[in-house]
Chains A and B, each alone.
Chain A
Amino acid sequence: MTVNAAVKWLKRNLFSSWWNGALTLLVLYIVWSAIPPFLDWAIVHAVWSGEGREACLGPGKGACWPFIFANLDQFAYGRYPAELRWRVDLAFLLGLAGLVPMLIPRVPAKLWNLGYLVVAWPMIAIVLIAGDRPGLVGVDTDLWGGLLVTLIVAITGIVASFPLGILLALGRRSEMPVIRTLSIVFIEFWRGVPLVTVLFMASVMLPLFLPQGVHLDNLLRCLVGVALFSSAYMAEVVRGGLQAVPRGQYEAARALGLSYWQTMGLIVLPQALRSVIPGIVNTFIGLFKDTTLVLIVGLFDFLGQVRIQLSDMHWSTPQGAATGYVFAALVYWVFCFGMSRYSVFMEKRLNAGQIR
């Protein structure tokens, strides 16, 4: 009975025509020739324990996982002093404590939660991580690295680009010519240059224009660059959502006496943002991956830190590079896939709430 059903399913979905059947076989062949060798390399013949490069040397050996295990701290914190890493952990946990209830729709007080997450927490986190307060040992940003830098760049980009992007999108649709023109010029400028260029300008050219003696931290300059760059993208995504809201919604709100900002905040934006959740998350995911570009201006994000550890003589092995990059890919994938799944969840939830 169940075998019968399985055969039927196969027939209907995979072999409904000779063309479909041929494609199925082709895909099966590709999967068959790619997956087993990879699993063989990553698991079966991989080295799982050992104290140094010697463990991973020798013919027929696969991935060198001890290299990853031995360097986890560097991947997470870069050169951040080991005895102070608890401050980073604490900042991270405080962020998690704000993020988790924010992501669970049932938890109340979303406005306070959001306030904590985008205003209070960043300030606490910066003080903790940088330590530029009396009583705390300061840690120069040159020492920051690894996932710490990746998350700082990505979170700054996300937290800054969301409100800035919304303001720019509203500005671009404003009836005031000055505001509209400024918004268009800003958006088109930042959309027109590659992020690499932005980072180079921020890191190399900006200091040339700053007055003598004014020192802007390299990381800070990159953060500003990333924030402005991503807000331009966010603005265009939000604008798409604004266009999808019928004009009548705006008119009904104004006719009831709501002010411009009330109309936008209570009527137009909630509908606009809902309709572009996939686009917003897409921008976040793109931004998260683009953070790897800070490598070229001398910041060592997660990927950069993996590369540094690869050049460590103590761990130089034939399979080291491949192992490091597969591990990096896996970590990026987990973050991006998580965001993607969350957006699917939110979309489903919102669609269930109201039928148009």
Chain B
Amino acid sequence: MADTKKPIIAIEHVDKWFDDFHVLKDVNLSVAEGERIVIAGPSGSGKSTLIRCINRLEAHDKGRIAVDGIELTEDLKRIDEVRREVGMVFQQFNLFPHMTVLENCTLAPIWVRKQPKEEAEATAMRFLERVRIPEQASKYPGQLSGGQQQRVAIARALCMNPKIMLFDEPTSALDPEMIKEVLDVMVGLAHDGMTMICVTHEMGFAREVADRVVFMDQGEIVEEAPPTEFFTAPKSERTKAFLAQILRG
């Protein structure tokens, strides 16, 4: 089914090195519009590096990455175009501590999309309602709980009206009781048809919303399959070992 739509993200034969360290090895991944991908794998396998290549927080050394038809090269203008279309949510939230929640959300729409302030604020309030914290709009990030901060981070990304959302372990830094409130927001997004790539170890989330689960190990994509197949009939030994470990925990 994925093949019938046009790919919005095309990653072809991508290699990347950190000095001598070969962090991505001939990675190929094609994501269709509206598709939800979960990337799993042991720590240090290159998951973060891969999704950071999609919005050029990291530059790949070989191969080709195209997002929404725009190929990522040194060209700064194209990089900016891609970044406008791709929202990102980080493990550490990375909210701007010197700005209120509302200012965090309106900053990019005002400065990058050149929206009038009133319009940006109206949009921001809409998304803050959607992540269920409109009442925190005038607080500073330091006054919020981790779960609330991460939901603000999601709202901040959504305010740019992105076509694609990248999540890099959005719940890993959260206390267990806050994980659900963030996952609920992400599930809601998935049901609205957002194209999503999520690095996460929340296998319940993967089962519920993922179209495909991609398993990475040591810089390679070892296996990719729809979740039912991935969890019930993993092909590779490495996947089996990983699943055994993570599902036991």
Residue positions of B touching A, CB distance < 8 A? 55, 57, 80, 83-84, 86-88, 90, 92, 94-98, 107-108, 111-112, 140, 142-143, 153, 156-157, 160
Contact = CB atoms under 8 A, between A and B. Distances in A.
Nearest to B57: A251
Nearest to B82: A257
Contacts of B94: 246, 248-249, 251-252
Contacts of B97: 271, 354, 356
Nearest to B166: A255
B164 to A, nearest CB: 12
B96 A267 contact: yes
User: Which of A246, A251, A256, A258 has the most chain B CB atoms inside 10 A of its CB?
Assistant: A256
A143 interface: no
Interface residues of A, number: 22
A298 interface: no
A258 B108 contact: yes
A174 to B, nearest CB: 15
18 contacts: A246-B92, A248-B90, A248-B92, A251-B90, A252-B88, A252-B90, A252-B153, A254-B83, A255-B86, A255-B157, A256-B112, A256-B156, A257-B80, A257-B108, A270-B98, A353-B140, A354-B97, A354-B142
Nearest to B112: A257
Contact of B157 (A251, A256, A258, A271): A256
A354 B92 contact: no
A355 B98 contact: no
Contacts of B98: 270-271, 274, 353-354
A266 B111 contact: yes
Nearest to B153: A252
Question: Which 5 residue pairs spanning A and B have beta carbons closest together?
Answer: A252-B94, A256-B108, A248-B94, A355-B142, A257-B83
Contacts of B160: 256-257
Interface string A236-257: 0000000000101101111111
Contacts of A249: 94, 96
B83 A252 contact: no
A66 B108 CA distance: 63
Among A246, A251, A274, the most chain B Cβ lie within 10 Å of the Cβ of: A251
Contacts of B90: 248, 251-252
Contacts of B86: 255
Given A248-B94, A254-B57, A262-B111, 14 more contacts: A248-B90, A248-B92, A252-B153, A255-B57, A255-B87, A256-B156, A256-B157, A257-B80, A257-B108, A257-B160, A262-B112, A266-B111, A353-B140, A355-B142
A259 interface: yes
Interface string A178-191: 00000000000000
A253 B103 CA distance: 13
The secondary structure that dominates the A interface is: helix
A255 B143 CA distance: 24
Contacts of B108: 256-258
A256 B95 CA distance: 11
A274 B80 CA distance: 28
A234 B88 CA distance: 35
Contacts of B142: 354-356
**Most B CB atoms within 10 A — which of A246, A274, A354?**
A354
Contacts of A256: 83, 87, 107-108, 112, 156-157, 160
Contacts of B87: 255-256
A78 to B, nearest CB: 44
Contacts of A251: 57, 90, 94
Most A CB within 10 A of own CB, among B94, B107, B153, B157? B94
A255 B111 contact: no
A226 to B, nearest CB: 32
Given A248-B92, A256-B156, A354 B140 contact: yes
B111 A355 contact: no
B96 A258 contact: no
A257 B88 CA distance: 11
Contacts of B143: 355
Contacts of A255: 55, 57, 83, 86-88, 157
A356 B98 CA distance: 9
A271 B97 CA distance: 8
Interface in A16-48: none
A270 B103 CA distance: 14
Nearest to A265: B111
